[in-house]
Amino acid sequence: QVQLVESGGGLVQPGGSLRLSCAASGFIFSIDTMDWHRQAPGKQRELVATITKGGSTNYADSVKGRFTISRDNAKKTVYLKMNRLKPEDTAVYYCNCPRFSDSWGKGTLVTVAS
């Protein structure tokens, strides 16, 4: 079955950086689009970034220019490099494959605070 395991979250000061990873299994990773989403306390889950099988990317306006999504098909892993973090980036971050939209991992918590 589809499994997604996120890692790399933590506590970081405003202006800092983190790199999140998501290890995927149970499907043919290389042919699928992959997304990163986040859910802040008290808010709905939102789409943050997308990367297609060909490497095309798209970002939410709130993270454009600060976040970079990438993928390593050999490792079946998608990454989210987050720079210039802001307190409003605090959230649980999840990866997802749109073709299996009901399959979610446990997420990884990112807390941006001084």
Tell me how far apart the alpha carbons of residues 68 and 55 are, in angstroms, rounded to a whole number. Answer: 12
At 63, is the secondary structure helix, strand, or coil? coil
Give yes or no for a contact between 74 and 47, defined as CB atoms under 8 angstroms apart: no
- Give the pLDDT confidence score for residue 27 in this predicted structure: 86
Q: How many CB atoms lie within 10 A of CB 47?
A: 14
Which tokens sit at 24?
């995927």
Give yes or no for a contact between 59 and 42, defined as CB atoms under 8 angstroms apart: no
Q: Kindly list the averaged pLDDT for each block of 10 residues, start to end, along the chain of length 114.
A: 96 98 90 95 96 96 98 96 98 95 94 97
- Give the pLDDT confidence score for residue 29 in this predicted structure: 84
- Give the pLDDT confidence score for residue 101 in this predicted structure: 87
Helix (H) or strand (E) holding 88: none
